[in-house]
Amino acid sequence: MSFIAEKFSEIAPSQTLAITAAAKKMRDEGQDVASFGAGEPDFDTPQHIKDACIEALQDGKTKYTPATGIPELKEAVAAKFLLENGLEYEESQISINCGAKHSCYNAILACCDPEDEVIIPAPYWTSYPEMVRLSGAEPYVVETKRENGWKLTADEFEEAISGRTRMLILNSPNNPTGSVYSKEELEALVEVAESEDIIILSDEIYEKLVYNDKKHVSTATVSEAAKNLTITINGLSKVYSMTGWRLGYTAAPPEIAKAIGIIQSHTTSNPTSFAQWGGIAALQGDQNMITDMVEEYDMRRQYMMSRLQGIKNVDVVEPEGAFYFLVDTTKIGLNSMNLTEKLLSRYLVAAVPGAAFGYDQSIRLSYATSLDIIKKGLDRFEEFCHAH
Ligand SMILES: *Cc1c(COP(=O)(O)O)cnc(C)c1O
């Protein structure tokens, strides 16, 4: 007899966190581990954001706020959508959530009944299928192809639809593949979604981290229909190095936004009051450090691309966004758990197993770490690949 709810029986702990913990333990024991495991920026939160938060604390902004966030931050988010994406939202369509992860979970809960299916293109961010299961709905995973840049095509989407399909989860720029959908690709997907009344959850947390002059296109902008069926999720964690602050936000069609507000009011209530004031400073303050960060990531990305192309037995697609490489290890022939364990224990390199992203013949290497560590880690990874 187990006291654990049946719906948890299939839910796995986050493997991205497990490998980071194992690497940390080895490092604490004095081993020189080169870690590609990071899922967060290696920069500190900018000072003016911290200052705004400290000021809010000193001012006594320490009490409950409206459940979906303070109006000032919602206004700043609405202004961001209008200015940067050309999207017009009423304040009532916007909610501030406890991180974009929370935004995703709220949106799934608001829209999906048990038995509903949610289409998730793989490789996917590790939490999507588990969040869908937690909601009682069922993930329907569609494997995308490396030759298509790991992007879901309209045909693949159409083929995956059943009478129970409720939602499609899109993530562009993508974690773990780094792929970025073009306007045309999104239009084709939206057309299918519109004809089948399928909601699109568009996770755009890596919006600002794009390279090669690639432009991020927000799904809701491709047509009026797109706006009516898209839930746009974004947040401050990745772009402003604010992972610990837990601030994400959602813009949704009115009916869905209302449901999200109700869910949040009965579960977490508001995101931390003083953190929200830091969030305003982030959105309204100097944006120049983003350019600097993107330049630094891009330098690392280009270095890794040139190195990885020269390594035997692995294949990569050039990532155009986020801060990851999904390295295809099919030719090595080990499953990703075995591969990453061996890589960590014998070569002192930490990477995340592709199994966590629904593609077992791969590992994810993050470049949210210094160039020194990247160089050292890739030297070792090269040795490993040549020995296999
Ligand atoms: C990091 C990440 C998030 C969550 O970010 P938080 O705001 O820290 O919750 C959401 N989606 C993807 C794809 C991510 O990589």
Share of the chain above pLDDT 70, in %: 99
Tokens standing for residue 312: 């035997």
* Local structure of 272: helix, strand or coil: coil
Counting atoms of ligand 1 from 1, which one is nearest the CA of 98? Answer: 9
Domain boundary assignment for the chain: 6-45+288-387, 64-284
pLDDT for res 15:
65
pLDDT digits (tens, 9 = 90+) for 315-327: 999 999 999 999 9
Q: pTM of the prediction?
A: 0.96
pLDDT digits (tens, 9 = 90+) for 252-293: 999 999 999 999 999 999 999 999 999 999 999 999 999 999
Mean of pLDDT values over 172-180: 98
Q: Ligand 1 centre from 101 Cα, in Å?
A: 5
pLDDT for res 90:
97
User: 121 in ligand 1 pocket by Cβ < 6 Å?
Assistant: no
Tokens standing for residue 174: 């993508």
Backbone angles phi, psi at 142, to 5 degrees: -115, 120
SS (H, E, C) 281-335: HHHHCCCHHHHHHHHHHHHHHHHHHHHHHCCCCCEECCCCECCEEEEECHHHCCC
As a whole number, the mean pLDDT across the chain is 95
pLDDT digits (tens, 9 = 90+) for 119-149: 999 999 999 999 999 999 999 999 999 999 9
User: 248 in ligand 1 pocket by Cβ < 6 Å?
Assistant: yes
pLDDT for res 273:
98
Structure confidence at residue 383 as a pLDDT band (50, 70, 90): very high
- The whole-angstrom distance between residue 91's C-alpha and the CA centroid of its chain comes to 24
Residue to mutate, 175, 206, 216, 236, ligand 1, most ligand atoms under 8 Å from C-beta:
175
User: 237 in ligand 1 pocket by Cβ < 6 Å?
Assistant: yes
Mean of pLDDT values over 301-329: 97
**Does residue 1 carry a pLDDT above 90?**
no
**Does residue 8 carry a pLDDT above 80?**
no
Tokens standing for residue 235: 């947040």
pLDDT digits (tens, 9 = 90+) for 41-97: 889 999 999 999 999 999 999 999 999 999 999 999 999 999 999 999 999 999 999
pLDDT for res 176:
97
d(CA 294, CA 282): 16
Matching fold, domains 6-45+288-387 and 64-284: no
Q: Ligand 1 centre from 158 Cα, in Å?
A: 27
Q: Is 213 exposed, middle or buried (0-12, 13-18, 19+ CB in 10 A)?
A: exposed
d(CA 348, CA 185): 40
Structure confidence at residue 21 as a pLDDT band (50, 70, 90): confident
User: 171 in ligand 1 pocket by Cβ < 6 Å?
Assistant: yes
- Please tell me the least confidently modeled range out of 35-39, 209-213, 307-311: 35-39
**Does residue 7 carry a pLDDT above 80?**
no
Q: Ligand 1 centre from 237 Cα, in Å?
A: 7
Backbone angles phi, psi at 213, to 5 degrees: 60, 15
Query: Which class in CATH covers the domain with range 6-45+288-387?
Result: alpha beta
Residue to mutate, 177, 205, 324, ligand 1, most ligand atoms under 8 Å from C-beta:
205
Mean of pLDDT values over 285-312: 96
User: 176 in ligand 1 pocket by Cβ < 6 Å?
Assistant: no
Mean of pLDDT values over 333-356: 94
In Å, what is the CA distance from 193 to each residue of 100, 131, 155?
23, 21, 12
- DSSP string over 85-120: I-----GGGEEEESSHHHHHHHHHHHH--TT-EEEE
Query: Which class in CATH covers the domain with range 64-284?
Result: alpha beta
Structure confidence at residue 225 as a pLDDT band (50, 70, 90): very high
pLDDT for res 244:
97
**Does residue 18 carry a pLDDT above 90?**
no
Counting atoms of ligand 1 from 1, which one is nearest the CA of 236? Answer: 7
**Does residue 16 carry a pLDDT above 80?**
no
